[in-house]
Amino acid sequence: MARTLGIRCGLKVPTVHSSGYTERVSDFLPLSAEERQWDAFVQAQGGHGLQTAAWGRLKASFGWESEILTLEADGEVVAGALVLYRPLPAGVGRIAYIPKGPLVDWQDAKQLEALLMKIDQQAKRRRALFLKIEPDEANSASLRAILAQQHFRESRQTIQPPNTILIDLDDDDSIMSRMNQGTRRKIRSSWKKDVMVREGSRDDVATFNRLIQETGERNEFGVHSTAYYERAYDLFVPDGQAVLLMAEHQGQALGGLMILRNQREAWYLYGASASIERQRMATYGLQWAAIQWARAQGCQVYDMWGIPDTDEESLERAFQDRQDGLWGVYGFKRGFGGRVQRAVGAWDRVYFGPGYLAYQLYLSLRGQGT
C-alpha cells in the first residue's frame, strides 16, 4: 500500500439558523475533491448511502461530527469509512460510530488491520470510549469470526435496525406475484380510489414534516425535527441520490416517503401517512410507486428498512399479536413479498473499559439496552 490519507470533513464556523439547528460554512459549500473521491469509491463498491459524504454532512448538522478516513494505493482509495462522533452523557467521552461500514475487504487481514489502526488513532484522539460499527454485510459465521479476531464484541445496542426485507426488482409481474393477495388488492384499490403519487418538490417538505409528526404521534414512535428532513432533502434530492414521493387525493396530502439510493440498491428511509382517508390505501400506492422509481433508476434491490430483530419463524408466529416497536410495521412490509435478511449487527471495539462499562450501565438503567 503506497500511502494512507486521513481526511476530516467540515469547517467549524457556526451561525444560528432560524429553523433550529446550527449551520456551518461547509453546509453550503460544494463537496470537496476528497469528498467526491470518497463518494465515487462508495458508489463503485456498492456501498450504503449512510456512508456517503452527504450523510456525514446531514449528521454533522444535528449534534455529530463527521470524518472520512481512507486508505489509498497509488492515489486511489482502496478502503475507508465515514466515521461519526458524538459526546456521551456526563462528558465522560465520545462514541465513534460507523453506520453501514466500513468499506473494506474483510478477507484481507492486512488491509483491515491498517484501516482499523487509522480509525483507532483518530477515535482515541477525539476521546472516544469505544468504536461502534454496523457493517452493511449479511450475517455469517465467517464475518463474526473476523470481527471477534479484531477484538470487536457483539453489542445489543443497535442504531440501525439489523433485520430488513429486501425486494428483488426484476419485473412488475414477478414483483406482484410474490406479494400476498391483500397487498396486491390494496395497491390496486389506491389506483381505483384516485390516489395520485408524484415526485415532491422542496415546497412539499413542509407537508411531509406535518405528516411525519402526525404519524409519530399516532404510532408512538420518535421522529426527527422539521429541520432534519429539510436538510436531508437539500443534501440528497437535488443530486439525484434520493426522491421525495407524495401521495394525494384531490390535492389533499395522504402520505409521503423518502427513498435513498445508489446505483444498485434503494432504501426506504422515511415514511409518513395521514390519519384521514385511510380507506384509500395511499401507503400501498406509495410503496408501489417507490418500487417503480427505484427500478427506473437501475436499482436491483429495494430495501424496506427495518423489521423486528428476530428469526423469520418467530416473525411469522408473532406479528399478528404485537404492535410494539417495529412489529407495527412488519405486517405491512411483509405483504410486499420480499426476503428477510439480517445484517451482522452492531459490534463494539472498546478503548477504555471502565468508561464503556459505565455507559452500558447507563443504557440499562434507561431501558435502552437495545
Q: Could you list the pLDDT tens digit for every one of the 370 residues in the chain?
A: 333 333 333 322 222 232 345 555 556 678 898 999 999 999 999 999 999 999 999 999 999 999 999 999 998 999 999 999 999 987 789 999 999 999 999 999 999 999 999 999 999 999 999 999 999 999 999 999 999 999 999 999 999 999 999 999 999 999 999 999 999 999 999 999 999 999 999 999 999 999 999 998 887 778 899 999 999 999 999 999 999 999 999 999 999 999 999 999 999 999 999 999 999 999 999 999 999 999 999 999 999 999 988 888 888 888 887 877 778 788 999 999 999 999 999 999 999 999 999 998 888 887 765 4
Place of cell 465467517: 142
163-342, CATH topology level: Aminopeptidase (3.40.630)
Cell numbers placing 199: 415526485
Q: What is the reported pLDDT for 328?
A: 77
List 258's β-bridge partners, or say none.
244, 270
129-to-80, 117, 350 alpha-carbon distances in Å? 21, 15, 6
Q: Is 140 exposed, middle or buried (0-12, 13-18, 19+ CB in 10 A)?
A: exposed
| Strands, E assignment, the chain | 3-7, 14-16, 22-24, 65-73, 76-87, 94-99, 128-134, 153-154, 163-168, 196-199, 242-249, 252-261, 265-273, 301-303, 339-342, 347-350
Q: What is the reported pLDDT for 11?
A: 27
Q: What is the reported pLDDT for 26?
A: 56
80 and 70 Cβ atoms separated by less than 8 Å: yes
331-to-86, 92, 272, 302, 319 alpha-carbon distances in Å? 34, 41, 16, 17, 6
State the Cα–Cα distance between residues 142 and 127, nearest whole angstrom.
Answer: 31
Neighbours of 357 (CB within 10 A): 12
State the Cα–Cα distance between residues 183 and 336, nearest whole angstrom.
Answer: 7
State the Cα–Cα distance between residues 191 and 273, nearest whole angstrom.
Answer: 17
Q: What is the reported pLDDT for 106?
A: 98
| Strand pairing class (339-342; 347-350) | unpaired
Cα Rg of the chain, angstroms: 21
DSSP assigned state of 103? B
Element of type H or E holding 117: helix 109-125
SS3 345: coil
Location of each CATH 3.40.630.30 domain in the chain? 3-162+344-365, 163-342
State the Cα–Cα distance between residues 26 and 15, nearest whole angstrom.
Answer: 11
Q: What is the reported pLDDT for 161?
A: 94
| Strand pairing class (22-24; 14-16) | antiparallel
Q: What is the reported pLDDT for 351?
A: 98
SS3 18: coil
Give ∠ CA 125-127-131 in degrees, rounded to 5.
95
Q: What is the reported pLDDT for 27?
A: 60
Task: Evaluate whether the domain defined by 3-162+344-365 bears CATH number 3.40.630.30.
Answer: yes
DSSP assigned state of 216? H
Cell numbers placing 266: 434503494
Give ∠ CA 362-366-368 in degrees, rounded to 5.
90
* Amino acid identity at 77: V
